[in-house]
C-alpha cells in the first residue's frame, strides 16, 4: 500500500468504438458503441486504482484494452514507457507477462477439465522461459501455498473447490508470471459475504509481499474504498471524477459520484429515516447514442444549456483539489458514503 510516484502504467486518450453495422452482404457502418471514449490515467508502482461505475459504463472494455485483448480505436497504453497497443508478436507476448488479470466469475473462468496444477501452470507453457519444465510442479505448489491453498491438492479439479477457493486458484494463475500489474475485474462480487473478506485480505497481503499494482474494478463501493488508494468514477465511457479515496468518498464534486454514493445502502439502521438520498431517474443512456456535451446531463439535476453544448473536461475545478468533469462541480457532503 506504499505507492511510489513512479508510474508504471500510463493510459492516454484511450478510445474504443465498436462499429454497428447494417446489411448482410454489403455491411455499412451505421454508428458505433462508444464503450471507452477518451480515458486517461496513471497507475503508480504498488498502488491500487479502483474503478467504479454502473454496468455498461466501459469498465470491462477498459480492462480488455489494458490487457491488449482488444485493439483500441485510438490512444495509448504505456507500460514502462512502451505502448502495448502497438506491440506485436514476441514483444507483445513479453509485455503481457507483466500485466495479468483475475476474472469475476470463478465458476466459468476455470476450465473444468484441467487440474488445478494445469490451470495455474498454463502460463508457464506459454512463457517457458519463466520456469524450466522440471521446476514447474514445484513452482505451482509454491503459488498454491502463497494464496492459501493446500499444495497437495494440485491434482484436483475445479469442481472439488468452493467459490472462494476457486477465486484463489484464479489469483494464483494471475501471479504465476510474477507480473507488476494485476487487473481485478469484480474479483469478489460472485462470492458469499463471509468469503469476500478472506479474498480481499489475500489481495492486500499479496500486494504488500510482491509490490503489485492493482486496477480494481468493482461495483461495490465500500469494497473499492477499502482497497483503493485512488478511485476513478466512470460514466458512459468517460472518467467523470478521479481522486484519492477520501477525496472521492468524503468530498465528491461530480453530481454522478454524489448520486452513486448516496444510492449505496448503509449497513446501519440508525438514522435511516432522515438520510438524504439522491435517486437518479431512468437508466443510463445507450453508449451508441450518448447525449451531446456532458453525457450525464440527461439524468442530472444541475444541467444547464452549457452542459448540452460543451463536453466538460476532467480537470481540477475551483474549490476542490481533485479533477472532476462537471461544469458545476461543487463539493457536497454525502453522509452515506461508507
List the interface residues with another protein, window 118-177 (CB under 8 A).
162, 164-165
Lookup result for grid cell 429515516 = 273
Q: Does 24 bind another protein (CB under 8 A)?
A: no
Q: Does 104 bind another protein (CB under 8 A)?
A: no
Shortest Å distance, C-beta 61 to another protein: 17
Q: Does 269 bind another protein (CB under 8 A)?
A: yes
Q: Which is nearer to another protein, 99 or 217 (CB)?
A: 217
Q: Identify the residue among 280, 288, 311, 331 touching another protein (CB under 8 A).
A: 280
Question: In angstroms, how far is CA 204 from the centroid of its own chain?
Answer: 16
3-class state of residue 129 by DSSP: coil
Give 33's strand partners. Answer: 18
Q: Does 265 bind another protein (CB under 8 A)?
A: yes
User: How far apart (Å, rounded) are the C-alpha atoms in residues 20 and 99?
Assistant: 30
User: How far apart (Å, rounded) are the C-alpha atoms in residues 127 and 115?
Assistant: 19
Q: Does 223 bind another protein (CB under 8 A)?
A: yes
3-class state of residue 183 by DSSP: strand
Q: Are 70 and 36 in contact (CB under 8 A)?
A: no
Q: Which is nearer to another protein, 166 or 322 (CB)?
A: 166
Please tell me what DSSP assigns to residue 324: E
Q: Does 243 bind another protein (CB under 8 A)?
A: no
Please tell me what DSSP assigns to residue 25: S
List the interface residues with another protein, window 36-75 (CB under 8 A).
54-55
Instruction: Using alpha carbons only, give the angle 159, 164, 170 rounded to the nearest 5 degrees.
Output: 75
Q: Are 85 and 77 in contact (CB under 8 A)?
A: yes
Shortest Å distance, C-beta 218 to another protein: 11
Q: Identify the residue among 59, 64, 225, 317 touching another protein (CB under 8 A).
A: 225
Q: Does 276 bind another protein (CB under 8 A)?
A: no
Shortest Å distance, C-beta 279 to another protein: 5
Residues 6 or more apart in contact with residue 298 via CB below 8 angstroms: 282, 285, 291
List the interface residues with another protein, window 202-221 (CB under 8 A).
204-205, 219, 221
CB neighbours (10 Å) of residue 162? Answer: 12
Q: Does 226 bind another protein (CB under 8 A)?
A: yes
Residues 6 or more apart in contact with residue 109 via CB below 8 angstroms: 103, 170
Q: Which is nearer to another protein, 81 or 282 (CB)?
A: 282
Using CB under 8 A as the binding criterion, the count of chain residues that bind another protein stands at: 44
Strand 7-22 and strand 238-244: the pairing is: unpaired
Q: Which is nearer to another protein, 196 or 320 (CB)?
A: 196
Residues that bind another protein (CB under 8 A): 1, 54-55, 162, 164-165, 192-198, 200-201, 204-205, 219, 221-223, 225-226, 245, 249, 259-260, 262-270, 272, 277, 279-283, 338
Amino acid at each position: 500500500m506504499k505507492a511510489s510516484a513512479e508510474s508504471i502504467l500510463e493510459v492516454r486518450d484511450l478510445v474504443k468504438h465498436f462499429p454497428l453495422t447494417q446489411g448482410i452482404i454489403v455491411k455499412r457502418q451505421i454508428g458505433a458503441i462508444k464503450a471507452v471514449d477518451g480515458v486517461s490515467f496513471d497507475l503508480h508502482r504498488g498502488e491500487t486504482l479502483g474503478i467504479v461505475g454502473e454496468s455498461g459504463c466501459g469498465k470491462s472494455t477498459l480492462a480488455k484494452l489494458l490487457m491488449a485483448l482488444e485493439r483500441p480505436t485510438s490512444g495509448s497504453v504505456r507500460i514502462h514507457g512502451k505502448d502495448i497497443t502497438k506491440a506485436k508478436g514476441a514483444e507483445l507476448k513479453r509485455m503481457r507477462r507483466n500485466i495479468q488479470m483475475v476474472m469475476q466469475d470463478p465458476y466459468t473462468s476455470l476450465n473444468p477439465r484441467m487440474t488445478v496444477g494445469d490451470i495455474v501452470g498454463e502460463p508457464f507453457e506459454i512463457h517457458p522461459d519463466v520456469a524450466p519444465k522440471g521446476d514447474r510442479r514445484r513452482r505451482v505448489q509454491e503459488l498454491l501455498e502463497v494464496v492459501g491453498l493446500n499444495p497437495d491438492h494440485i491434482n484436483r479439479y475445479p469442481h472439488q473447490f468452493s467459490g472462494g477457493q476457486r477465486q484463489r486458484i484464479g489469483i494464483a494463475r494471475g501471479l504465476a508470471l510474477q507480473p507488476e500489474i494485476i487487473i481485478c475485474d469484480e474479483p469478489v462480487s460472485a462470492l458469499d459475504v463471509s468469503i469476500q473478506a478472506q479474498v480481499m485480505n489475500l489481495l492486500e497481503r499479496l500486494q504488500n509481499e510482491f509490490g503489485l499494482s492493482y486496477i480494481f474494478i468493482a461495483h461495490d463501493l465500500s469494497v473499492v474504498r477499502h482497497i483503493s488508494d485512488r478511485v476513478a468514477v466512470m460514466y458512459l465511457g468517460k472518467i467523470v471524477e478521479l481522486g484519492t479515496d477520501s477525496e472521492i468518498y468524503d468530498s465528491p464534486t461530480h453530481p454522478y459520484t454524489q448520486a452513486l454514493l448516496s444510492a449505496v445502502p448503509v449497513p446501519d439502521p440508525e438514522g435511516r429515516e432522515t438520510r438524504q438520498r439522491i435517486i437518479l431517474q431512468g437508466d443510463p443512456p445507450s453508449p451508441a447514442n450518448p447525449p451531446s456535451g456532458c453525457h450525464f446531463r440527461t439524468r442530472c439535476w444541475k444541467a444547464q444549456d452549457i452542459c448540452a453544448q460543451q463536453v466538460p473536461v476532467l480537470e481540477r475545478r475551483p474549490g476542490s483539489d481533485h479533477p472532476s468533469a462537471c461544469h458545476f462541480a461543487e463539493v457536497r457532503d454525502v453522509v452515506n458514503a461508507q
